[in-house]
Amino acid sequence: MSGEEEENAAELKIGDEFLKAKCLMNCEVSLILEHKYEQLRQMSEDPLNQVSQVFEKSLQYVKRFSRYKNPDAVRQVREILSRYHLTEFELCVLGNLCPETVEEAIAMVPSMKTKGRGLDEEAIEKMLNDLSLIKTFE
Amino acid sequence: MFLNVQLPWNVIIPAENLDAKGLMLQRSIIIRLLDEFASKKATKELGYYFALTTLDSIGEGKVRQHTGDILFPVVFHGITFNLFRGEIIEGVVHKVLKHGVFLRCGPMEHIYLSSTKMPDYRYVPGENPVFLNEKLSKIGKDVVVRVIVLATMWLEVEREFRALVSLEGDFLGPVSSF
């Protein structure tokens, strides 16, 4: 088990290329696959549809763990979370786990509590409230 | 965590598959790329190669000297999956053993939650073995558990990752909303 630069997602130490990459929430992956992959798969001439076991299981996982199903709701979740100066990584952890209280949110994404982030408990509370509204109307 | 990455790739089309019509060529390239992407499975740097989403560009083909194949440099977007130390994830239990359980998360199946990292839970043997705590909270097959990633390991030969996770932390444990 190695961690060359002591990787730690709780402190957002996850390597520059990942910090800058676009992260996807499970619900976003689910939607993308519903549209794009079917298109690309149909282009393959293989009648047996050699989609691997691993892919199928992953697809099942992503569908089951999508907290939001409606494409508009998914878009709104990203939009709301984007207003709070979070990194892509933090945004997706919150969108995937849907914490209900401020304490839970901070436990899920401890890096939010780092000094100088400008994310006090009030801001986090507001963020969670906005998210729960989407769920109500989904 | 799923990531959307842009990657360069070299697709090699055998000379006999080349067609005069441009559309057939693009189709050949996509199919080839899909196959190679699927068979790649995972790399140490980027994690699991999960799905190809868009083909962004196809560069000019270059003839390879000795084989007569054409090499097309392409750029595409794909979804990859990686687990990070310290990340909190939700996994599904798919195997229960005396000393711990195995979880599945995304494409990863070898995520191990040791009994030593399940404080207050004890093993209950039987036809459907489970881990049980005093409050009768159960960790067994098909239960969803929220855990923190302690460490990950890349296995070169199998081209797979393994991960060690733990329940030690606030708000971790079995999740009932699934």
Does residue A48 carry a pLDDT above 50? Answer: no
Q: Are residues B161 and B96 in the same domain?
A: yes
- Identity of the residue in A23, A43, A104 whose CB atom sits nearest the CB atom of B1: A23
Q: Which one of B81, B103, B135 terminates a domain?
A: B81
Q: Are residues B52 and B96 in the same domain?
A: no
SS3 B128: coil
Q: Are residues B16 and B71 in the same domain?
A: yes
- The superfamily CATH assigns to domain A10-138 is RNA Polymerase II, Rpb4 subunit (1.20.1250.40)
Instruction: Give pTM, 2 decimals.
Output: 0.87
Q: Are residues B98 and B72 in the same domain?
A: no
Give the CA angle between residues B114, B116, B118 to the nearest 5°. Answer: 80
Of A1-15, A52-66, B30-44, B119-133, the least confident: A1-15
**Residue B155: left (phi > 0), alpha (psi -120 to 50), or beta?**
beta
Listed by start position, the domains of chain A span 10-138
Q: Are residues B124 and B67 in the same domain?
A: no
Q: At which residue do the structure tokens 């996994």 appear?
A: B91
> Two tokens at A76?
């709104």
Strands B100-105 and B108-114: antiparallel
**Would an 8 Å CB–CB cutoff place A48 in contact with chain B?**
no
Does residue A98 carry a pLDDT above 50? Answer: yes
Q: Which one of B81, B108, B139 terminates a domain?
A: B81
Chain B residues touching A8 at Cβ < 8 A: 84-86
Chain A residues touching B79 at Cβ < 8 A: 24, 29, 32-33
Q: Is the CB of B1 less than 8 angstroms away from the CB of A62?
A: no
Does residue A2 carry a pLDDT above 50? Answer: no
Q: Are residues B68 and B21 in the same domain?
A: yes
Count of structural domains within chain B: 2
**Would an 8 Å CB–CB cutoff place B2 in contact with chain A?**
yes
Q: B24 lies in which domain range?
A: 2-81
Q: Is the CB of B30 less than 8 angstroms away from the CB of A8?
A: no
Q: Are residues B64 and B94 in the same domain?
A: no
Q: What is the pLDDT of residue B24?
A: 76
**Would an 8 Å CB–CB cutoff place A56 in contact with chain B?**
no
What would the pLDDT profile of B125-178 be if each residue is shown by its tens digit?
999 999 999 999 999 999 999 999 999 999 999 889 999 999 999 999 999 866
For A94, the enclosing helix (H) or strand (E) is: helix A88-97
What is the DSSP code string of B68-113? --EEEEEEEEEEEE---TT-EEEEEEEEEETTEEEEEETTEEEEEE
The model's confidence at residue A15, banded by pLDDT at 50, 70 and 90, is confident
Of A79-88, A109-118, B5-14, the least confident: A109-118
Q: Which CATH number characterizes residue B128's domain?
A: 2.40.50.140
Closest-CA residue of B relative to A91 is B1
> Two tokens at B3?
């990531």
Q: Are residues B66 and B91 in the same domain?
A: no
**Would an 8 Å CB–CB cutoff place A105 in contact with chain B?**
no
Q: What is the pLDDT of residue A47?
A: 43
What value of ipTM does the predicted structure carry?
0.86
Q: Which CATH number characterizes residue B11's domain?
A: 3.30.1490.120
Region A114-138: what's the mean pLDDT?
85
For A82, the enclosing helix (H) or strand (E) is: helix A71-82
Q: Are the C-beta atoms of B70 and B60 separated by less than 8 Å?
A: no
pLDDT above 70 covers a percentage of chain B that reads 96
Q: Which residues pair with B161 in a beta bridge?
A: B154
